[in-house]
């Protein structure tokens, strides 16, 4: 961080997280006069696929996004030694997974607020033909006022069209517990539609503190998804409208899965729940292990089973 402090005016204040290709730190900007988060990517630790494809795309996408529910990028620069620095808005309340872990589950009205903000962020991304492809609680962040912000666009994709139809993705990526069945089955897929499935898993996670399909074996998980075999625990109590929305989002047939516009128009999202939002802890099942992010570069194949550790890991394999 010596280069960053001397040439850019960022004072290191501590580490926020560690990844496969670098780390995320917090720093004070002497120019902006506020705390920021900096994603530091060490090129020497990166795979050739990440350097040639994913990193340039992430930089390009971040430089074009501007939405209140997407983590703001202030600047991106590279040191003479090849280290890439992405300076971003610091979300002081941390990521959504840690917040859910501290509460076990979230009150429905608070979940409604966060999920509505997620919907608006994804609607914005999709309107710009950007699919996130790794929507999960670890990639959703909370600011000082508990507003949700979508972050980490390392596996995102800019969509292309031929004769008015989206070119299906053949890159199988994301996090297994949040991945749609078409992704797990290694079927070419529309990333927008698969993003919606991940949103359904996030909503379930908010309301129940666990994922709907908690299976360490990816093939078995895909079978459960296809059969729509998941339960709604009695505790905590959740409204019928929220349960119905989750069922309609987590539909294994892509043609019958809701679009973001359908979700925004649904009975649960369009009308705020009535119970008091106090962010109090509720009783719910313990949060299960969260699978790793994985990526098989532009070709069919079987994604790996998620590890037993809760700590997420990122990677791209050709």
Query: What residues are labeled active site?
Result: 134
Helix ranges (H only) for the chain are 2-8, 48-49, 55-62, 96-103, 108-127, 181-184, 191-208, 218-227, 240-249, 260-265, 267-270
Q: Which two tokens stand for residue 10?
A: 């960022």
The two tokens of residue 31 are 């120019």
Strands 83-89, 172-175: pairing is unpaired
In whole angstroms, give the CA distance from residue 290 to residue 311. Answer: 7
What are the φ/ψ torsions at residue 240 (nearest 5 degrees)?
Answer: -60, -35
Exposure b/e, 134-156, CB count within 10 A at least 16 = b: bbbbbbbbbbeeeebbbbbbbbb
> Could you tell me where the beta strands, DSSP code E, fall in 255-313?
293-296
- The CA angle 297-59-65, to the nearest 5 degrees, is 115
Gap between the Cα atoms of 216 and 307, Å rounded: 8
- Distance, CA of 170 to CA of 297 (rounded, Å): 8
């Amino acid at each position: 961080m010596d280069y960053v402090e001397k040439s850019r005016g960022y004072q290191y204040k501590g580490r926020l997280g560690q990844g496969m290709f670098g780390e995320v730190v917090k720093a004070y900007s002497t120019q902006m006069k506020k705390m920021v988060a900096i994603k530091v990517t060490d090129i020497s630790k990166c795979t050739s696929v990440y350097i040639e494809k994913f990193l340039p795309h992430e930089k390009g996408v971040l430089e074009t996004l501007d939405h209140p529910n997407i983590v703001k990028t202030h600047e991106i620069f590279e040191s003479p030694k090849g280290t890439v620095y992405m300076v971003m808005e610091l979300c002081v309340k941390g990521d959504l997974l840690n917040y859910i872990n501290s509460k076990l589950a979230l009150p429905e009205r608070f979940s409604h607020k966060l999920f509505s903000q997620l919907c608006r962020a994804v609607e914005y991304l999709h309107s710009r033909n950007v699919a996130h492809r790794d929507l999960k609680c670890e990639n959703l962040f909370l600011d000082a006022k508990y507003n949700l912000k979508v972050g980490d666009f390392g596996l995102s994709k800019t969509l292309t069209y031929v004769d008015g139809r989206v070119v299906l993705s053949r890159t199988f990526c994301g996090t297994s517990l949040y991945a749609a069945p078409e992704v797990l089955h290694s079927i070419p897929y529309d990333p927008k539609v698969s993003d919606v499935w991940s949103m359904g898993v996030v909503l379930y996670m908010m309301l129940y503190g666990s994922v709907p399909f908690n299976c360490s074996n990816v093939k078995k998980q895909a079978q459960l998804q296809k059969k729509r075999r998941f339960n709604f625990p009695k505790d905590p109590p959740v409204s019928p409208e929220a349960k119905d929305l989750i069922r309609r989002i987590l539909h294994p047939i892509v043609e019958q899965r809701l679009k973001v516009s359908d979700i925004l128009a649904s009975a649960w999202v369009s009308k705020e729940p009535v119970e008091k939002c106090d962010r109090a802890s509720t009783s719910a099942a313990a949060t299960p292990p969260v699978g790793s992010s994985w990526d098989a570069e532009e070709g069919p194949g079987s994604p790996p089973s998620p590890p037993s550790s809760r700590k997420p890991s990122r990677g791209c394999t050709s």
